[in-house]
Amino acid sequence: MSSSTSTLIFSEPTNLADPRLGAEVIYATDDFFADKSRLINPDPAVFIEGKFDEHGKWMDGWETRRKRHEGYDYCIIKLGGHATINGFLVDTSHFTGNYPAAASIDACSFTDDVVPGPDVAWTELVASTALAGNSQRQFEVDATQTFTHIRLNIYPDGGIARLRVYGQFQHDWATFATDESIDLLAAQNGGRAIVANDEHYGTITNIIKPGRGVNMGDGWETRRRREPGNDWAIFELACAGEIDAIEVDTAHFKGNYPDKCSIQAAFVDFGTDESLAPQSIFWRELLPPQSLSMDAIARFEREIVALGKVTHIRLNTFPDGGVSRLRVFGKPYPLR
């Protein structure tokens, strides 16, 4: 199960502000020129020459009107669940004369299904920072607490094309019945894509998203292999668990799906993300090689080898090709 590709591709963390994972922009002080919902569109921002609406030039992002009094604008994003946050991306693509001079980001934990009120305590995660037009600014965050909402403040007004909120969803596993089987790999449950040997046409973060893929671009597809070996990707489960069912979905992949797949697994409580790839060579086989079909969901239960509790899996595809979604069902056993 080797590959001649020497450069490993480490996946970016889950975008917690992805509407496909339940995120929603629930409030903005103003979105006169461009609707607040566009701020978290998972697609890259575009510029359409000559496109105008009743408010002026159409922009792909969130844009407020020119402020003529004291104050600043902000919007509030509700994440798809409780999550730890380790970074942000503030993208001003195509905003050149109308981007904010600066921005800051706050977060809070709020369980009511309404817009957080003035009595809610917000934690500053990104201090006020100068922005540039038509550019991307990344911020690292060192916070251990969990949050449910993000507040993006812009000074004093203007437009932001996209906001990405990176981190990992967290669950209170004590609320799950010990005999309940859930998708331990799902991003919304806290599953995490870590590294792959190839992501030429699609990223491994796609295959742990909810629902079926909308097209081939909404999956993980590798280049055509011209040498011996196979392709692979490594994931961390949301929680240690015993696996009882696996689904491999090749939706939309018809002339480019893998001939076969297999899955290795291990209980890992040491090392780093960088050390997982060499370790995974020796992981035990959870699912022996299985044939796949085009544009179909293959479910495996009896084929699974009982390994006990595992925390990480390695998906092997033979020899290459595309997978739309991967589901790994099991009974959670949280580490304590």
Q: CATH number, domain at 98?
A: 2.60.120.260
Residue 101 backbone class (left: φ over 0; alpha: ψ -120 to 50; beta: rest):
alpha
The angle formed by the CA atoms of residues 144, 145 and 150, to the nearest 5 degrees, is 115
Q: Over pLDDT 70: what percentage of the chain?
A: 97
**Residue 217, pLDDT score:** 95
The residue among 145, 174, 141, 15 whose CA lies nearest residue 80 is 15
Mean pLDDT of all residues in 112-138: 94
Task: Name the domain boundary from 149, 169, 189.
Answer: 169
Q: What is the pLDDT of residues 193-218, one digit of tens each?
A: 999 999 999 999 999 999 999 999 99
Which residues touch 50 (CB under 8 Å, ≥6 apart)? none
What is the domain extent for residue 298?
175-332
Task: Judge if 164 and 219 occupy the same domain.
Answer: no
Q: Of 87, 82, 9, 16, nearest to 273 (Cα)?
A: 9
Transcribe 267-314 into DSSP letters: ---SS-HHHHHHHHTTPEEEEEEEE--TT-EEEESTT-----EEEEEE
The residue type at 163: L
- Per-residue pLDDT of 277-313, as tens digits, reads 999 999 999 999 999 999 999 999 999 999 999 999 9
pLDDT tens track for 63-101: 999 999 999 999 999 999 999 999 999 999 999 999 999
Residue 65 sits in the same domain as residue 149:
yes
Kindly tell me if the per-residue pLDDT of 5 is higher than 50: no
Specify the number of domains making up the chain: 2
Q: Check whether residue 255 and residue 195 sit in a common domain.
A: yes
pLDDT of 4 > 80? The answer is no
Mean model confidence pLDDT for the chain: 94
Q: 190 and 108 share a domain?
A: no
pLDDT at 3: 41
Same domain, 141 and 232: no
Cα 213 to chain center, whole Å? 14
Residue whose token pair is 């081939």: 216
- Say if residue 100 is in the same domain as residue 188: no
Would residue 116 count as lying in a domain?
Answer: yes
Residue 117 φ then ψ, to 5°: -90, -175
Q: 41 in a domain, yes or no? A: yes
Q: Which of 235, 234, 229 is nearest to 320 (CA)?
A: 229
Provide φ and ψ at 260, rounded to 5°: -145, 165
Domain assignment present for 27: yes
CA 179 to chain centre: 28
Query: What is the pTM assigned to this prediction?
Result: 0.89
As a whole number of angstroms, the distance between CA 263 and CA 207 comes to 14
Q: Using CA atoms, how far apart are residues 110 and 147, in angstroms rounded to an integer? A: 8
Section 263-278 average pLDDT: 94
Q: Answer yes or no: do 162 and 183 share one domain.
A: no
Is pLDDT at 47 greater than 70 in this prediction? Answer: yes
